[in-house]
Each structure stands twice: as structure tokens, then as C-alpha cells.
Structure 1
Amino acid sequence: MHAAESSGEARRPEQFPGKNKMDAFYDQALEYMERTLEQLTRQAPPPQRVPMADSFAYRYVEQTTQQAIVQKLARIISGLHAARVLLKHGFLQEQAALQRMLDEFQEDVTFLTYAEIREDTADLLRDYLAAFYEEEFDVPQNPIKSTQKRPMIPRRRIHAYLARVTGTALDASTAAEVVRTLSKTYSGYVHGASPQIMEMYGGAPPTFHVAGMLDSPLFRDHKDDLWNYFYRCITAFAFAAKAFGDEVLFASIYAYSTWFAGTEPSRK
């Protein structure tokens, strides 16, 4: 097991007192990702203060691919922290909705990395970055007068590109459809589709459980699913290191991800 080169060794699970083994693994992984984010952030031009209404805001003025990647990595880490909190209190619907966001963040990092390295999708990358960096309000002093015209890049374009470049055994169109289907499943939690909402209903007598579902028969599935997101998000950091051309860091993260794969919870 290795840690980011400039960040020191990752703490071992036994160095997290009072935690069960899986919680210790998650704490360790989050520490590792946070240190790696700091290292990658230092390799990109830093945010600058820019005027915003009557004050200022921090912005990446160069609006590069690498700067977009570090921002997505920041949301990945905060999302994993939040997913753990939601699971701890039994908010399974909300955890699943958040994991749908993590799906997109991880896909975005993978897309941005391939686009940066391969230089084979200039139009899609240009459109993505333009939409990503566009301000929410083009008249900050008066949001009502703002046009709020940020274009949304269809996920199918991202999925199709990733299916084409990742060397899947499926043909590109089938692979993209598989990803789309999985994405739609979690979208039901985001948009509040009836089949997903009805997972909240049950008990004796049956009722909607709106203050957490720690006793739900689905709790174990959601608990185990969280591990999948930790593992996939760690691999997103490996992709990010590639985008920065940092092969030493990539090797370190790859070794860590291989070790973390061995922590997968058993269903026994």
C-alpha cells in the first residue's frame, strides 16, 4: 500500500481508534484522497479573486481541463463524506441520489482525462468546459435579469465517448446503453420516481419511513454499495494523475486501489 508521494504514508486501519474495520478503511481512503487532491491542486494554476457583485469570488481564470478535474475530485470527496453520513442514519433514498451524482463526477474525471491525453474529441471537450465554467448568472447584481443560459452536455455524448475509448468487450453503442440504463436506475432516486419512493413504505402497520430506514431489508444492499463508490472514486484519482502526467503518483494510487479492492465486504 502506498500513499501520495508528497503526503506521507496513509494511516493504517488500526490507527483509527474506536472504529470498526470498514469505517477505518473508509477514513483511511478519504484521508488518502484528500492528500492527493492537495497534491494535484498544487500542480494547476491556483484560483484567483475576481469581482462578483459587491464583493469577490474565487475562480479558475485559465479554465483548463486539469482545473476542472481537481474541482470534480473535490466534489467526489465531499460526496463520499456525505454518503457515509446519510447511510449511518438510514437515509437510503438520499444516499442513492447522491451516488447518482458521484457516478457523474467519476465519469467526468474519466472523460476529461481521456480527452486531455488522447486529444481526439476537441469539440466535445470544448463544449463541456464552456458549459462547466459558465457562470450561473451573467448579471450577478440582478439575477432576475440574467439569461441563465448554461447549456447542458447530454450524458449520452459522454457515455458514447467513454464506451468508444475504454476498450470494452461490448460494441460502443451497447456499452453506452448499459451505462445509460444503470444511470437511469439511480435517477429514480434523484427525481423521486414512484418505484424508488415505495421502497420507503413497509412495516407493521405499513407506513412511509421518513426519518431513516436503519431496519429496512434494503439497508445491507446500500451499505455494501457504498464500498463500490469508494473503490470507483479511488480509481478516478488514478485517472486524474494520468491527466496531470504524474506517473509516480499514478503508480502510487494504482497500488493503493489494488490494496483497497481486497477490503470489499463479504456477504457471508
Structure 2
Amino acid sequence: MSQPKTYFFGPILQALENAFRQIETKVPQPVRGRDGRFRYAEQSIRQAIVQKLARLISGLHSVEALLERGLFQEQGIMQRGLDEIEEDIWFLALAVINSDITDRHMEYLRYFYAEEFSDQNDVVGSRLSRGMVKRDKIRAYVHGSSLSGAELERAKDVGRTISKAYSGYVHAASPHIMDMYFPEGFDVSGTWKHHRYPSHKRDARNVYYRAITAMAVSAKAFDDETLFASMRLFASKVESEMRS
């Protein structure tokens, strides 16, 4: 008898959400402005981690839904986004853990908290332009915090490779689109998902595993050693299952 679809993903999602509920209470909560929208008044680095974790878990739910629907191109787009969110979490969390909040982190937070429009009553006429810290700078900080020499260069190469591989889904490159093609034509609704399902499920498992490690480093940044140890143990268990 086949396992239900949540056999691998469900327990991970539940564990991550339980951990998230512990972490999100450790920062001052958002306040409602006059326009009715919620915002973090302090705009701290830990509050940024909380928000990134929220998007991480939401995105993982999306990956599972798209996988089960057979919409593998869209799954690839989501996984590319999650890879960057996970890198951002490490970038922010390591700065807290190592007491190393640099000018680059402050620049990141300034861009992160910036509003999208200068005038909510005239979004078309708004003139704000959101900046960003370059991805290679974020990746270099993350890998440089614990790696050096040839190991660091290898880690950087892996990060670039993952980003490049998923870019084809984001930008709808021909080689990626052709994965949708069968003798019957392009599968635009997931009708023939069984042909690609096993490989895309294996691929999705990796992003779920990395999410556990991102939650672990976040717990460390919040000085929650019990949760940190729990997430590390859970990551080891999931890694063993993936190898079996």
C-alpha cells in the first residue's frame, strides 16, 4: 500500500510550524497602523528572521501542493524562492549568533523593511525604488562564517549552481519548458504528472531538509538551545530517512 502524500512532508511541516510558534513570540509583536495594516515597529533583525520563517513554511506548503498537482514548473519557481529565503535566514541568524551585524546587514534590513509605495493612495504615481543586497554577497557571508579556502569556494559553487538550475523555471527557459512535453503535447495541467513525479518529489525533499536546518540556526539566534538541539536531531533523522 502506498504512503499518503503527507508521509514525508506532513511531519516536517508540523514540526516546523510548532517551532515557529515558539520563536515568533520572542519578539515584540506587530502593531496595527492607521491604515489598518500590521507592521513591526522596531524593525529588528530578529523580527526579520521571524518574517522569513513565516514565508519559508508557507512556501513549503506551496511546494507540496504544486507537486501533488503535477505543476512541476511552478514547483521549481517556488523552490528557487525558498533557496533564497533559506540563505537570508542564515545570513541574518549568523550575524546575531556571532555578534557580527555588519553594515551589509543594516543595508539588507533597510531594504527589507522599506515600503513598496511612497503613497498608498496613489500607487501608480509612487516613486520608491527598492534596493537589494546582491545574492553573492549574502552567500559569501553565510559560507565565510564557517568555511574557508577550497571548502568555501566549493560551497559558493554549489550555491551558484542551485540558483542557475532553478533560474530556468523562473524565467521560463526552453530546456525547462520542454520537460512539460510528451508525444501527446505539452502537459499544461499536470495530467501526466506520474512521468515526472518521482524525480520532483526527490528534489522537493532537499528543500524541506534545508528548511529544518534554517529553523535550527534561527533557534540558536534566539538563544533557544532546547529548540536548537531538537531541530538538529530532527534534521539528522530526516537525513537518514532520505538516504534509506
TM range (shorter): over 0.9
Query: Is contact 1:160-1:173 (8 Å) kept?
Result: no
Instruction: Specify which of 31, 34, 39 is matched with residue 48 of structure 1.
Output: 31
Q: Helix, strand or coil: the match of 2:16? A: helix
Instruction: Specify which of 57, 67, 73 is matched with residue 93 of structure 1.
Output: 73
Write the letter of the residue equivalent to 2:52.
K
Write the letter of the residue equivalent to 2:33.
V
Q: Helix, strand or coil: the match of 2:37? A: strand
Q: Helix, strand or coil: the match of 2:193? A: coil
Partner of 1:120: 100
Q: Once the 2 structures are TM-superposed, how far is the Cα of residue 162 of structure 1 from its aligned partner?
A: 1.5
Is 1:235 paired with 2:218?
no
How many residues align structurally?
243
Query: Is contact 1:76-1:105 (8 Å) kept?
Result: yes
Q: Once the 2 structures are TM-superposed, how far is the Cα of residue 147 of structure 1 from its aligned partner?
A: 1.2
TM-score (norm 1): 0.85
Q: Helix, strand or coil: the match of 2:115? A: coil
Query: Is contact 1:113-1:243 (8 Å) kept?
Result: yes
Query: Share of identical aligned residues, percent?
Result: 42
Q: Once the 2 structures are TM-superposed, how far is the Cα of residue 121 of structure 1 from its aligned partner?
A: 4.9
Write the letter of the residue equivalent to 1:226.
A
Query: Is contact 1:224-1:265 (8 Å) kept?
Result: no
Partners of 2:40 and 2:130 lie apart in 1 by 17
Instruction: Specify which of 167, 187, 191 is matched with residue 209 of structure 1.
Output: 187
- The superposition leaves residues 71-127 of structure 1 with CA deviations (integer Å, 9 ceiling, x where unpaired) of 111111111111111111111111111000110111111111111122335111001
Is 1:28 paired with 2:11?
yes
Runs of 4+ in structure 1 deviating by more than 6 angstroms, as ranges, are none
Write the letter of the residue equivalent to 1:61.
A
TM-score (norm 2): 0.93
Partner of 1:183: 163
Q: Helix, strand or coil: the match of 1:144? A: coil
Alignment gaps of 5+ in structure 2: none
Partner of 1:37: 20
Partner of 1:259: 237
Q: Once the 2 structures are TM-superposed, how far is the Cα of residue 70 of structure 1 from its aligned partner?
A: 0.9
- The superposition leaves residues 214-258 of structure 1 with CA deviations (integer Å, 9 ceiling, x where unpaired) of 133x32211111111111101110010011111111111111211
Instruction: Specify which of 134, 156, 162 is matched with residue 154 of structure 1.
Output: 134
Greater helix proportion: 2
* CA RMSD, 1 decimal: 1.9
Spell out the pairing of 1:161-200 with structure 2 (5 A cutoff). Answer: 161-167=141-147, 170=150, 172-200=152-180
Q: Once the 2 structures are TM-superposed, how far is the Cα of residue 23 of structure 1 from its aligned partner?
A: 2.0
Partner of 2:114: 134
Partners of 2:206 and 2:149 lie apart in 1 by 21
Alignment gaps of 5+ in structure 1: 1-17
Q: Helix, strand or coil: the match of 2:209? A: helix
Partners of 1:116 and 1:161 lie apart in 2 by 13
